[in-house]
């Protein structure tokens, strides 16, 4: 009988152990459980404060481990220029991201935060990253498979800094080059923009054939969550004014600006960002019909919808005039995650009060949080919340630089080549006695990359590691050929030297957003005078570094050969590859090139279409061996 109490005690201990084990087991923490069950389980455990924290995205400038823990912040971003010091290593970036993540993992439910960055042409805010051509140049390639490879390379370089979320691609259809964001658009033609959504499976991975339409997807820890932006009509504003009003019938909105969103959703894009712009006077951030009605209900999008930077503030004019109304309008329209970079406590307090007082139903909050959690589970954030230092090797890798160089080669558009087809100037001979290289953009990596490079607006100068066009020319010509660089030579200097020919590289300064809105689209001084002074005295090739077509007709007769190089990024060697005939020109215009700005807006298919160079134009050349 003495054994009976021992057996009883053993059974009791076993039962207690099972009870403790069951108490500790949480469905949402079990990766073997279906995502729907994990979302339901976690949502049921959350307080209102924790739910609203998940809906809040803040900038790293105001973040700390304590802030992440106290407010249950669901997401962070590093805006243009908001990061470690400009020349920081990728390890420093990872240290930063992991530091904030540890604050989130110390909360009651241990929900990891999601960190995002504007990787719009590579991981372009980070020193030594590979900077790819901006989207307008990629549109000139007509090569979706190339763009997919660029997406995959960008994903690796973003992961190299510990970040799982990219605010890309921009799938705007720019209908007026006066818009300061036009270079972020692949084309004026929605068919090209639709084709270039192949960057999404590059970023996120190929979606399985049996996947449900509209459900977010990520192939693994070497991929990043993508963002289709800016929903919808941002490229169609009147006179190309940034954040302005797009006047269009519903038919034209669906025909021109919406199709790329269909493709993005089918390809499993995880998030969609709302546009600052309005459609027929209604702010997109407050447009429930298009966000909840069309995007979520008609297109069956199952990822989450994110606002743009301080997007709720801009619902009113002036911004932030009635923030309570803006919260009701934006969250009520169907925006799930709110980018409130700085004044996050105002948003959290405001939304909490509105829910508690029944101005915003709990069902709307639950829908938003379900979507955010679904994405976080889908991308494996709960299983892999901390960044992997082994990924740092991918930042600026030689393989990626070769890919960017290929993209540059394929993006160049040859608009003019000599007096006639019988007297072409390009391909240029590598062996010549003396070549003049001139222009403000010939030896300037910052000008070559444009906006969204290290800083939000970009900046001229030696901002990151890359190959300038001047360096590329020196790398390419015959060893006996003398290269003379004079940024802005006067006419007497050109005449007094016996140059075989000249290469002039001029264009726009770096810009982004509203700062790039431009009503005259002229090349800034001294660009025009450099063209005039040099081309009057020697055979010349003009290489334009611009984010869009610019006024060139007044100088065209003087120019012997003209190349649109767009904003090629860090790998200027791709320009020299084609100028000297190692590869042929294959790019064609993704945009109509106007004669005068008075013709704008002018797009292919318009009734009165009289361009300088039509959409799709581009002279094709064959590579020359043994040049």
**Cα within 13 Å of Cα(163), Cβ side:** 32
- Distances in whole angstroms, Cα of residue 184 to Cα of each of 125, 171, 202: 16, 8, 18
> Which class is 41-394 in CATH?
alpha beta
Instruction: Write the pLDDT tens digit of every residue in 35-82.
Output: 999 999 999 999 999 999 999 999 999 999 999 999 999 999 998 878
- Residue 9: predicted pLDDT: 55
Distance, in Å, from the CA atom of 258 to the CA atom of 36, rounded to the nearest integer, reads: 29
CB of 476 within 8 A of CB of 580?
yes
CB of 135 within 8 A of CB of 186?
yes
Q: Could you tell me the maximum CA-CA distance found in the chain, to the nearest angstrom?
A: 118
How many other CB atoms sit within 10 Å of the CB of residue 391? 19
Mean pLDDT of the chain: 95
In the chain, domain spans: 41-394, 412-599
- Residue 198: predicted pLDDT: 98
> Is residue 23's pLDDT more than 80?
no
Q: Which residues of 438-464 are buried (b: 16+ CB within 10 A; e: fewer)?
A: bbbbbbbbbbbbbbbbbbbbbbeeebb
Distance, in Å, from the CA atom of 504 to the CA atom of 575, rounded to the nearest integer, reads: 12
Instruction: Write the pLDDT tens digit of every residue in 242-289.
Output: 999 999 999 999 999 999 999 999 999 999 999 999 999 999 999 999
Q: What is the pTM of this model?
A: 0.96
Closest CA to 243 of 297, 183, 317: 317
- Residue 80: predicted pLDDT: 80
Q: Which residue has the tokens 């997807």?
A: 217
> Is residue 388's pLDDT more than 70?
yes
482 SS3 class: strand
Question: Encoding tokens for residue 533?
Answer: 């002074």
Averaged pLDDT for residues 574-581: 98
Cis peptide before 232 (omega within 30 of 0): yes
> Which class is 412-599 in CATH?
alpha beta
**Cα within 13 Å of Cα(165), Cβ side:** 29
The string of DSSP letters for 280-337 reads TTEEGGG-HIIIIIIIIIIS---SEEE--TTTTGGGSSSTTSSHHHHHHHHHHHT--B
Do domains 41-394 and 412-599 share one topology? The answer is: no
């Amino acid at each position: 009988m003495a054994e009976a109490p021992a057996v009883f005690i053993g059974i009791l201990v076993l039962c207690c152990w099972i009870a403790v084990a069951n108490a500790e087991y949480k469905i949402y923490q079990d990766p073997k459980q279906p995502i729907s069950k994990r979302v339901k389980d976690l949502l049921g455990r959350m307080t209102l404060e924790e739910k609203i924290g998940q809906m809040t995205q803040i900038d790293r400038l105001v973040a700390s481990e304590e802030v992440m823990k106290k407010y249950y912040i669901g997401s962070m971003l590093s805006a243009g220029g908001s990061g470690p010091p400009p020349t920081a290593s990728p390890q420093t970036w990872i240290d930063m991201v992991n530091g904030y993540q540890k604050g989130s993992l110390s909360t009651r439910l241990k929900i990891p935060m999601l960190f995002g960055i504007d990787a719009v042409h590579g991981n372009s805010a980070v020193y030594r990253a590979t900077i790819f051509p901006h989207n307008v140049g990629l549109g000139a390639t007509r090569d979706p498979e190339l763009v997919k490879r660029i997406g995959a390379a960008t994903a690796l370089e973003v992961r190299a800094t510990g970040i799982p979320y990219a605010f890309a691609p921009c799938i705007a259809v720019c209908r007026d080059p006066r818009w300061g964001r036009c270079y972020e658009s692949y084309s004026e033609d929605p068919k090209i923009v639709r084709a270039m959504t192949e960057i999404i499976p590059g970023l996120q991975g190929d979606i399985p054939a049996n996947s449900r339409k509209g459900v977010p997807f990520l192939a693994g820890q070497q991929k990043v969550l993508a963002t289709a932006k800016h929903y919808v009509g941002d490229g169609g504003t009147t006179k190309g004014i940034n954040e302005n009003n797009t006047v269009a019938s519903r038919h034209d909105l669906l025909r021109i600006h919406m199709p790329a969103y269909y493709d993005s959703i089918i390809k499993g894009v995880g998030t969609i960002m709302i546009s600052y712009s309005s459609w027929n006077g209604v702010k997109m951030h407050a447009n429930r019909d298009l966000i909840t009605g069309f995007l979520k209900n008609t297109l069956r999008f199952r990822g989450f919808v994110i606002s743009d930077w301080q997007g709720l503030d801009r619902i009113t004019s002036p911004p932030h005039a009635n923030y309570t109304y803006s919260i009701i309008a934006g969250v009520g329209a169907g925006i799930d995650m709110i980018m409130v970079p700085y004044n996050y406590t105002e948003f959290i307090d405001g939304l909490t009060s509105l829910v508690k007082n029944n101005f915003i139903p709990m069902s709307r909050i639950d829908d938003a949080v379900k979507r955010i959690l679904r994405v976080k589970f889908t991308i494996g954030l709960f299983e892999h919340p901390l960044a992997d230092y082994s990924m740092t090797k991918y930042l600026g890798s030689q393989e990626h630089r070769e890919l960017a160089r290929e993209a540059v080669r394929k993006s160049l558009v040859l608009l003019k080549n000599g007096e006639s087809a019988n007297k072409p100037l390009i391909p240029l001979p590598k062996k010549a006695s003396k070549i003049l290289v001139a222009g403000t953009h010939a030896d300037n990596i910052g000008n070559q990359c444009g906006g969204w490079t290290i800083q939000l607006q970009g900046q001229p100068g030696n901002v990151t590691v890359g190959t300038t066009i001047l360096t590329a020319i020196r790398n390419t010509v015959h060893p006996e050929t003398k290269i003379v660089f004079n940024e802005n030579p006067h006419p007497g200097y050109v005449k007094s030297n016996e140059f075989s020919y000249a290469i002039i590289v001029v264009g726009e300064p770096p810009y982004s957003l509203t700062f790039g809105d431009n009503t005259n689209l002229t090349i800034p001084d001294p660009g025009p005078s450099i063209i005039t002074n040099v081309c009057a005295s020697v055979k010349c090739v003009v290489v334009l570094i611009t984010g869009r077509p610019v006024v060139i007709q007044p100088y065209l007769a003087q120019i012997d050969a003209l190349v649109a190089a767009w904003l090629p990024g860090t790998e200027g060697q791709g320009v020299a590859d084609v100028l000297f005939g190692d590869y042929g020109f294959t790019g064609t215009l993704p945009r109509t090139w106007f004669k005068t700005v008075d013709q704008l807006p002018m797009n292919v298919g318009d009734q009165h279409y009289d361009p300088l160079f039509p959409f799709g134009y581009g002279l094709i050349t064959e590579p020359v061996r043994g040049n």
